[in-house]
Chains A and B, each alone.
Chain A
Amino acid sequence: MTGHKTTLLWLQSAGCGGCTMSMMCAEAPGMFDTFDDFGIELLWHPTLSEASADEVTGLLADIVEGRRHLDILCFEGSVVRGPNGTGRFHMLAGTGRPMLNWVRDLAARARYTVVVGTCAAFGGITSAGSNPSDACGLHYDGDLEGGALGVAFRSGSGLPVINVAGCPAHPGWVMETLMMLAENSLGEGDLDRFGRPRFFADHLVHHGCSRNEFYEFKASAEQLSEMGCMMEHLGCLGTQAHADCNTRPWNGGGSCTSGGYPCINCTAPEFEEPGRSFTETPKFGGVPIGLPTDMPKAWFIALASLSKAATPSRLRVNARADRIVQPPAVKDTARR
């Protein structure tokens, strides 16, 4: 490893801290080993560091006033602007100053600004419903550019805010982004139009979903826990959601769809307000609203009705069961 250290400051605001809890699940290598191996020096992290209170406020002042160099600012949780634009719904403890002001000052000093989680990216769950705290993301307010830092914001490197979205973000997404930044190999072309790293956002949750055979034949689950495809009835957005959840495991081997519940498209702006219940699919004339990404509607309807007509009994039966009731036929080896 080179002698140059990449400094990292992590702040949390109006979120749940779950992206850090998720990051601590990084494995092979683990989180701290990754930091060591890529020369990432943690200046401070609210969950992990020894320093508390005045030891921290001194560091923040040093960065803002240019006495301490900051390579990466990671921000977790929405930024709250309420009440009435003051940001006083989160005054950073010990400072008497809104986090809204701190993040603007610190982002202006950082070479890269990295958002961890959908709250900090777009507002996320904290901005759901009546959005009581007037929460938004760092560079977006829902799907509108702007957010707490404003449309024109660029980090010292010239990059926009890097949105490692997800609720929570997968530990791999965070680790890989930080590793790439530590070796300066992540450029603007590596981000999608919402600033999400393309290495995970160019995939769909549908890719590698264990229910793909059910999807192919439109053999659908009607109740949570059933094995069939959850798109038709249970609100699953896996065919539209940008993430690689089913080609890289969560917590050793899981994903939402393998856990028996639908994808809610948590890497997307405004996932928190789907305009319906999260676990049911609205339909128009019997056709689910919200077609698979890049799929022409007429073709979807034609293929769906064809495949429904051709659904093998095994899939029809298993789709409505919570375990394999009818196993695949074992072929007679003499008839290969």
Chain B
Amino acid sequence: MTEQPRRIIAGPFNRVEGDLEIRLDIDGGQVVRAEANSPLFRGFERILEGKNPLDAMTIVPRICGICSVSQSVAAARALAAASGLRPPPNGELAQAVIHAAENIADHLTHFHVFFMADFARPFYQGRSWHADAVRLFKAERGEAVRAAIQARAELLHIMGLLAGKWPHTLSVQPGGTTRAPDARDRIRLLAIVRRFRQWLEQHLFGDRLDVIAALGSAGDLDAWHRAGTGGFLRLFLTIADDLGLAALGKGPPRFLSYGAYPRDGGHLLAPGILEDGRRWPLETARIAEDLSHSWMLGDTLHPARGRTVPDEEMASGYSWCKAPRLAGRSMEVGALARLVLDDRPLARALLTDGRGNVRARVVARLVEIAITTLAMEEWIKAMVPGQPFITPLELPDTAEAEGLTEAARGALGHWLRIEKGRIASYQIIAPTTWNFSPRDVRGEPGPVEAALVGAPVQPGETTPVAVQHVVRSFDPCMVCTVH
């Protein structure tokens, strides 16, 4: 039975960070067009204008309560670039540990609290895995939900030691970090990471982290899936196979990463651009924000020259989100993009027709947890108590700079201009600004809008469960999106 064409306005679309509305045109049992609306405008870029540049370190983390440290890191890099400064090796390591703790905590929250709950819905009753999904992932009640929240809280003890508190630390600074751990702190940090690693290996993976990090192909992953029964990742793979999640939510065949966790001039995960299977070096000069479908006034501009002027009449457009494009094209960002651009063979193998999909995004996030947790332990071991963690900062009166980093959900950039010692312009492009951008002047949809087309809709469904899988597979952070 095919229903008449209809329109759904789905919101408040929850278990994402912030408020989200998705508008869907449905025909022939599937989504034929989608619009993503970010319904909240706060105006951080305007708030920052005229301030002492150092005050950005207090203000920008408060853009987002879930990627707070990422915002701090982007601002710190922009201010460091403006001053021609680089943190000492210890500072780079401590920043990486603080940042990784947040990114891993975010991945953990996304998988256990935001994403998996939809498989426990009564909609899936009768599937072979449904009882397990309910026991582990039912919202609020699931064993895995509660255990993961506790594991996350204990992982974030890293923040108590290195960053004072989380979210909203001031310990991340352009010149490094403000808390120099002593021998006791360092050994405690190691103890926290090792306990967390145990938790991951026992519960999330049912296997050693190095085994997960080394999975090198689709065949490897498949063989690993069938070789055991333990671990939430295996349950997800079972569900993904049963529901065909590798064919659901296909994004654009284009990926962008600014590179994650710089150290000694390199990155743990390399930066770059992938367009239709071809890899290019990162070139931020090719970025511009299109406002044709945003409730924003102005022209399409590079963020170094961009402005934020809300259209108070909300006359044309359907979202407060701007539409960032790289050389005029939408880009998918996130853990999957990072692993693809780091040339991890498994990541390429997860793509379907060169495109991200629900299964690939989720698997990439979990594999990245394994990679980053292993790296975090090495970074802590490499810290040298006794050596400095911060270099004092002297800001110029006039400067123009960009600060790039990778939040859990993808590429985050800050573009800063200082004139007469004050902030003359501050522009932010957050990961979900990329992934949840509205259409551009050519009518090209943003990544999630494209990924939703073709999602199946059952007769009578008001908030189609397949749509929920696709939307949440991007791990959107709506408060960052418009900022």
Contact = CB atoms under 8 A, between A and B. Distances in A.
Interface in A222-272: 223-225, 245, 249-262, 264, 266, 272
Contacts of A323: 180, 182, 385-386
Interface in B147-168: 149-150, 152-154, 156-168
Interface string B118-145: 1011000000000000000011110001
Contacts of B153: 24-27, 30, 251
Interface in A75-110: 78, 80, 82-84, 88-96
Contacts of B120: 50
B179 A47 contact: no
A324 to B, nearest CB: 8
Which of A49, A51, A254, A324 has the most C-beta atoms of chain B within 10 angstroms of its own C-beta? A254
B163 to A, nearest CB: 6
Contacts of B182: 323-324
B96 to A, nearest CB: 17
A48 to B, nearest CB: 6
Interface of B: 9-15, 17-21, 37, 39-43, 46-52, 54-55, 57-59, 62-66, 68, 109, 113-114, 117-118, 120-121, 138-141, 145-146, 149-150, 152-154, 156-171, 173, 176-180, 182, 310, 312, 314, 320, 385-386, 388-390, 392, 462-463, 468, 479
A168 B66 CA distance: 11
Nearest to B91: A225
Nearest to B102: A21
A251 B59 contact: no
B59 A125 contact: yes
16 contacts: A17-B65, A21-B66, A25-B153, A27-B153, A30-B149, A32-B145, A46-B19, A49-B140, A52-B12, A52-B468, A94-B13, A249-B160, A251-B156, A257-B164, A258-B164, A260-B180
Contacts of B462: 53-54
A183 interface: no
Interface residues of A, number: 86
A52 B471 CA distance: 12
A74 interface: no
Contacts of B139: 48-50
A93 B179 contact: no
A65 B479 CA distance: 30
Contact of A260 (B118, B160, B171, B320): B171
A52 to B, nearest CB: 5
Among all A-B residue pairs, the 10 with the closest Cβ atoms: A259-B164, A18-B65, A93-B11, A94-B11, A132-B43, A260-B178, A254-B160, A252-B157, A251-B160, A93-B21
B164 A255 contact: yes
A250 B165 contact: yes
Given A30-B149, A94-B11, A251 B159 contact: yes
A49 to B, nearest CB: 6
A113 interface: no
Nearest to A32: B146
